Structure 1
């Protein structure tokens, strides 16, 4: 840790709010980098050099000040960080008058330095977490040894099986999404879930990527524990009332290289799902996710959507809603009737009309499949 001009300014400003004397901050080379007397900045302080070299308090009276260059009467105290002298803090004035303030100013300086070092470490951790996550989800593992080294410094276990999840701020208070909300979301995801690897790396900037540790069971992973944790997270967010979230969890693919596939499945799940739920699992949306990419292949997409397009064109919204509910209820006729508040005969009548409008019979497996794909692709 080195004393910088920025830190020196903070020390001078804070200390001179406490005492009425001018305060100087000198780096390890004996150069004044912060002072209550601006013209002294960048000048060499020979008294401070002595304090650094001998690691002791140096008091300078009027007689001594005349013999040394760049020096005024006062007291100079070594500044210690992690058992090393990194500079000096000085107070200008009669040593007998300023002596009592010495330890107070020294303590103020060292506290500011420790705080700055902690902030620097936090920023380093944040930057390298984001870089780590970015490489893992992009599959650009150019140097796994380097990644392992970064993970070790961050106290993360990359051997732990993980899946990718995307947490999206779905709605929020205010006209604009606040960075504060994203940072608060990251904190909620990191604590108490200390094994989560969390980063804001996606565009748009209302999404956070989480590489979540999982428990494997018969080569797959158990979602029961994750569902419990997600509900706890949602409850904690709801208690704040600042924003709401949607979360999509990708599939599990072994090894570090598998995390990029897991991320792609999570991303496609949150982008393709028409579900109104706030918790989405790739396992529950495999078909919609796999077919979602066909939107970019226009002729195939048009062919898949053709049955629904015909219903919309002929203003048969009731028939479309009936199909949607039927498939959402896993083709259970009783549950479909209950949800729509209709009689079985009414449902059969609507199925006949759907067959007439689309040319597809819902009782035939391949034609029912075409109708299903049309509904999920709309």
Structure 2
């Protein structure tokens, strides 16, 4: 069913492949070209068409040299277009993120950590010059938060002046960073592909490399799977081509829910009962353990939710037997999947509606980990 991967990654989805989106927005970029600049310079662009969204535009042109996985966030090293231009950086990384829940939640810690690791890698390539400065998270974290606050305020102001309806949407944030010359920029624009609490994923054959499990590694990714994780795709879910069982994502743990009513025919009221659902995931030994997953097990135990570690079968999704699916990682807690794209010749997509169990688990995790007012917003 799924095509084989070779040394050339499958091209990412074009926006023309997405469900129709009515779109008009602004893109706001705040840029600091001096390490002492804590405010940056604001620039604003009109985005009249979804095809002009600045979502990982350099990545989409296939200019990736390597990727870094850090704290379940990806940094792509971008090849500069004009190497003969001395003013352009010789090495630059691009990091992508998004807000959820009407901009209430943004993964500052993970986003900053990924930028910090990318910067450290660049400093090492420059002979460890200024490692004491650029190699510390304390240099990057406050700058990112200050530029984020200023950029988000400018984005809201631009939307009010242009299209006020975009204020309620969640945003996509693209950071670009280089050390020589110094550059730190954040671009803000609407994220129109998923609702405020959902995501889209792709399915591809493969297994998660062991090197992806620690906090930081230059990814050993000969199949190019990490290059597929560009907007609107939040993760790549891996499937065994022989058994058709889905295991985990490159960045997340993957879960599926089944509605298993005790009485048939089922009624709408039965769908509200959490005990009528089965939660299915990969075998326990392959799950990336973290505080988020530990909390998920606690919620399931508390609420009497049965968990199976058999791994979900892709056939069940194609036959619409799943009631829902979601990913869990430290950056966004739990994100329900609204669309799953298969890497096959038919470009198959599977869409999911709202599942009561998935909504309950998401609300419970967000309450546990994000129950305070956000800073810098």
Give the TM-score category using the shorter length: under 0.3
In terms of fraction of residues, the more strand-rich structure is 2
Report the TM-score when normalising by structure 2.
0.23
Q: Which has the higher contact order (CA 8 A, sep 6+)?
A: 2
Instruction: Say which structure is richer in helix.
Output: 1
Pair member with larger Rg: 1
**TM-score normalized by the length of structure 1:** 0.23
